[in-house]
Each structure stands twice: as structure tokens, then as C-alpha cells.
């Protein structure tokens, strides 16, 4: 459960998820506008190529749905699961792609991520998919943290670039909570008394 702060009529009050507090950062309207832009970009690039979109669960369920409903082109959408993250720090642990049954060879593949942080997860996914000889692979992500990124693969399609802070909402969670929040919330840094 998260508790809304009871004080105001603000459309995006602060929220508490487990032990941490989060404040409004990007509104639902801004997220929608960013996804609109990205959908237009992908439509131009992939029209007539019947792309295969691969959403990375759990976080990308929201972005995947918002994106593909804006894409009036012939396309397929599937999901894989990769566990690589615990708590608020990227652990670097990755596992195999679970649930990928589609034939990848010769396909134009677009990996859909909720967020690219260090890039370790997306690197692992790209390596695993490259073994299946797709015609092309690109990455589309709702959020990208350029300052945290440690890989060299270009992140071609980004809805919103954000600073290196922990965020939740629009599919992103803190230990399971917060995925259902519309918009994006940023962690409130605890003040330490010197």
C-alpha cells in the first residue's frame, strides 16, 4: 500500500512506498506527450517492416501498451522476463530471457524497456537476441538515465531523459510498489543532520 499525503488537492501528491517517500516529477500528461513523440518516430522508421516489439517485464508492460496503441502499423508484440534488479541499486545480476517463443531470424526487433540505467540489462538482452540473427535490433525506452549509462550500445529511441535519481510510476516500482502510479515520481532524498 502507498499512502497519499492528506494535505492538498494537488493532482500528484507525495507518496510513501515501503520505507521511501517519492515526490511528483513528470506528470501523466508529459509522459503521454513523450510517448506520442516516440510513437511517431517509430511509425516512420518501421512502417511496412512488420516490427516485433519485445517488452521487458515487469516494468515495460505500461510503456508497451501505451506505445503500441499509438502505432497504427502492422506489428507484433511479445514479452520476456529478465530479473536483474533489487531495491534501489542496480545489482548487475542478469538471467536468461524467459518466455521468448517467437522466431527472431530476419525480423526487425524493437526491445521495449521501462528504464535504461547502467544498461547492463539491455546489453544482456541485445547479446541474447543477436544470437538469433534478426534483420535489425533497436531499443526504445520510456526513461533513460544518461549519467548512469555504462554501456556503448546506442539507446536509439528515448521518450524522456532523466537525471540519475531513483524513480517510480508508469510501470516502475520500488520493491513491487508504485507501478500503477500515473506519471513519474522521484525519490525524496533524506536530509541528514550534520
Could you say whether residue 119 binds Mg ion (CB under 5 A)? no
Contact of 73 with 95, CB cutoff 8 Å: no
Among the listed ranges 41-49, 100-108, 113-121, 127-135, the one in contact with ligand IMP (CB under 6 A) is: 113-121
Among the listed ranges 3-11, 30-38, 42-50, 167-175, the one in contact with ligand IMP (CB under 6 A) is: 167-175
36: annotated active-site residue? no
- List the beta bridge partners of residue 66: none
- The cell for 153 is 550500445
Could you say whether residue 20 binds ligand IMP (CB under 6 A)? no
Q: What's the closest the beta carbon of residue 73 comes to ligand IMP, in angstroms? A: 25
DSSP 82: -
Phi (first) and psi of residue 36, to 5 degrees? -55, -50
Could you say whether residue 66 binds ligand IMP (CB under 6 A)? no
Among the listed ranges 14-22, 73-81, 108-116, 126-134, the one in contact with ligand IMP (CB under 6 A) is: 108-116
Could you say whether residue 167 binds ligand IMP (CB under 6 A)? yes
Could you say whether residue 59 binds Mg ion (CB under 5 A)? yes
Of 19, 117, 127, 131, which one is the catalytic site residue?
117
Distance (Å, whole) CA 141 – CA 158: 5
Phi (first) and psi of residue 19, to 5 degrees? -90, -5
Catalytic center residues: 117
Amino acid at each position: 500500500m502507498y499512502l497519499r499525503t492528506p494535505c492538498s488537492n494537488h493532482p500528484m501528491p507525495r507518496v510513501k512506498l515501503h520505507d521511501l517517500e517519492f515526490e511528483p516529477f513528470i506528470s501523466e500528461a508529459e509522459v503521454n506527450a513523450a510517448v506520442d513523440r516516440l510513437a511517431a518516430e517509430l511509425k516512420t522508421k518501421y512502417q511496412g517492416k512488420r516490427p516485433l516489439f519485445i517488452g521487458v517485464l515487469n516494468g515495460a508492460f505500461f510503456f508497451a501498451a501505451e506505445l503500441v496503441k499509438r502505432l497504427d502499423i502492422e506489428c507484433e508484440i511479445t514479452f520476456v522476463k529478465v530479473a536483474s534488479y533489487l531495491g534501489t541499486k542496480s545489482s548487475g545480476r542478469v538471467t536468461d530471457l524467459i518466455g521468448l517463443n517467437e522466431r527472431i531470424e530476419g525480423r526487425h526487433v524493437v526491445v521495449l524497456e521501462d528504464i535504461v540505467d547502467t544498461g547492463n540489462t539491455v546489453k544482456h538482452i541485445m547479446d541474447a537476441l543477436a544470437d538469433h540473427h534478426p534483420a535489425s535490433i533497436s531499443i526504445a525506452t520510456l526513461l533513460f538515465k544518461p549519467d548512469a549509462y555504462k554501456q556503448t550500445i546506442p539507446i536509439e529511441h528515448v521518450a524522456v531523459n532523466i537525471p540519475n535519481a531513483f524513480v517510480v510510476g508508469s510501470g516502475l516500482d520500488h520493491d513491487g510498489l508504485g507501478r500503477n502510479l500515473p506519471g513519474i515520481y522521484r525519490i525524496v532524498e533524506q536530509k541528514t543532520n550534520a
